[in-house]
Amino acid sequence: MLTGIIHIGMGDHALAEARALNVANRGEGGAFSIRQKGDTQDVLTLDGTRFDLRGEAGWLAFAASLELASEGTATAARLLGQANSGAKDELAQVMNVYKQAEQGARDMKRVVLSGHSVGSQIWGDHNGLLHFSLLEELATLFPTAAGQVRHLMLSACYTGGERGMTRYRRMFPGLQSIWAYAGSSPGTWSGAIPHLERWEAATDSGDGSAVAPRLAAGTRKGEFVATWNHVHGYLGDEPMPLWELEQHLAAQDGLFQRYLTGEEPVTDSQTGPLRDYYGLVQRALSQPDLPNGRVTELEQRRDQTIRLLYWDTIRERFADGYSAVLSAGYAKRGEQAFHFAGATRAAALAEARRLEADGADQELLALVSGLASLDNDVVLTRWV
């Protein structure tokens, strides 16, 4: 039977993390790495069969290979279709591992999810984005496999908090322990590997009750570690009462608006008033009793805030990602394309207002307005 830690890595250095776990867990099956494995996104070869997951034919073919009942096959194909471009190949690998566990060919007790995150998905700098909602659905599609997992580590920013812990227990109903981060997490070479090694040692045997923030004491970003285990429950930053969080958010709304309108520029993405505000929004989202409507509002505010913090990166990737459409749209107007790659937030907003007032081409206006509003459909999460 196949054993070992399942490492699902969306980042550029996923293989290095998996290799470190392979050494640490050498006596118990090492580690199995799920990552981008070919030169072409969403094209995957498994057991000699090539699957092109960029279209429906590939989703159906891969789903059929999972040997599910007809309804399950349709669900698997649907999930592949819903997955973000660039993450379909990783999701297919995850499904294949679940299939092995479901059929008794793999013992899957420990899982790592690694990459960038704002709390509801993971992604890589040059890779797609994997939503946690898809993993929740896999727990229904492969209940035996998902139920095998006892220990989960999320090597990703802002994945801690009690609300998140509840979600992960839906993804893996048999969990005994979870290691995550209430704030930012260390990168592969700046501290993630020592954290992974400490987590591996704590979950190598026993019931996971040893998994606690103290294991990361004295390490880089160890102060952000938040854990849950079935003996001690949630361990991490004591959450503010919801009423107090709402008071702080209301008091700082004006600060957020100054950055949103470009009145106040971001000078450092990692520190400063807007970064502190972002942390406050994340703390509010970690509240388990936050009403659903407020969750939706704060998730939108979270996404806008992180994009403002990384405006310099966003503007460059926007200009590069939409260069052809932007050039064509401005050419129709008889104008040179606006230099979004070097634009301040205030300048980009002024350009959006100018195009709207002039009745610009709808495709061009939709793009520039999407940048102005920091719309998720235009400003991609993986650009952060």
Chain centre distance of CA 179: 15
Long-range contacts of 234-238 (CB under 8 A, 24+ apart): 234/162, 234/165, 236/160, 236/161, 236/182, 237/182, 237/283
Determine if residue 86 is left, alpha or beta; phi over 0 gives left, psi from -120 to 50 gives alpha, anything else beta: left
Do residues 304 and 370 share a domain? Answer: no
Phi-psi region of 180 (alpha: psi -120 to 50; beta: other; left: phi over 0): beta
Q: Do 98 and 214 belong together in one domain?
A: yes
Same domain, 201 and 273: no
Residues 73 and 213 in one domain: yes
Residue with the two structure tokens 């498994």: 46
- Asked if 142 and 152 sit in the same domain, the reply is yes
Mean pLDDT of 48-70: 97
The answer to whether 62 touches 80, Cβ cutoff 8 Å, is yes
> Which of 86-109 are b and which e, b meaning 16 or more Cβ less than 10 Å from the residue's Cβ?
bbbbbbbbbbbbbbbbbeeebebb
Class of residue 251 by CB neighbours under 10 A (exposed 0-12, middle 13-18, buried 19+): exposed
Structure confidence by residue, pLDDT tens digits, 361-378? 899 999 999 999 999 999
What local confidence, expressed as pLDDT, does residue 38 receive? Answer: 86
Task: Tell me, yes or no, whether 231 and 247 share the same domain.
Answer: no
Same domain as 315, residue 305: no
CATH code: domain of residue 88? 3.40.50
Mean pLDDT of the chain: 95
Helices 253-260, 292-309: crossing angle, 10 deg rounding: 50
Which one of 193, 209, 235 terminates a domain?
235
pLDDT at 240 over 90: no
Q: Specify whether 263 is located in the same domain as 360.
A: no
* Residues 227 and 296 occupy one common structural domain: no
Cα-atom radius of gyration of the chain, to the nearest Å? 22
316 class by beta-carbon count within 10 Å (0-12 exposed, 13-18 middle, 19+ buried): middle
Are 256 and 341 members of one domain? no
Of 10, 34, 30, which Cα lies nearest the Cα of 20? Answer: 30
Per-residue confidence (pLDDT) for residue 99, from 0 to 100:
97
pTM: 0.89
Asked if 148 and 192 count as a contact pair (C-beta separation under 8 A), the reply is no
In the chain, how many domains are there? 3
On whether both 148 and 270 belong to a single domain, the answer is no
- Give the mean model confidence (pLDDT) for residues 184-213: 95
289 band by pLDDT with thresholds 50, 70 and 90: confident
Of the three residues 235, 252, 268, the one that is the final residue of a domain is 235
- Examine the domain organization and report whether 41 and 188 are in the same domain: yes
Q: Yes or no: say if 33 and 18 are a contact pair by the CB < 8 Å rule.
A: yes
Vertex 221: Cα angle to 158 and 189 (nearest 5): 100
pLDDT digits (tens, 9 = 90+) for 4-52: 999 999 999 999 999 999 999 998 999 999 999 988 999 999 999 999 9
Confidence band, pLDDT 50/70/90 cuts, at residue 239: low
DSSP of 330-349, one letter per residue?
A: HHHTT-PPP-GGG--HHHHH
The pLDDT assigned to 288 comes to 87
H or E stretch covering 121: strand 121-123
The DSSP bridge partners found for residue 227 are 179, 235
Boundary-marking domain end, from 182, 213, 235? 235
Domain range for 280 is 242-309
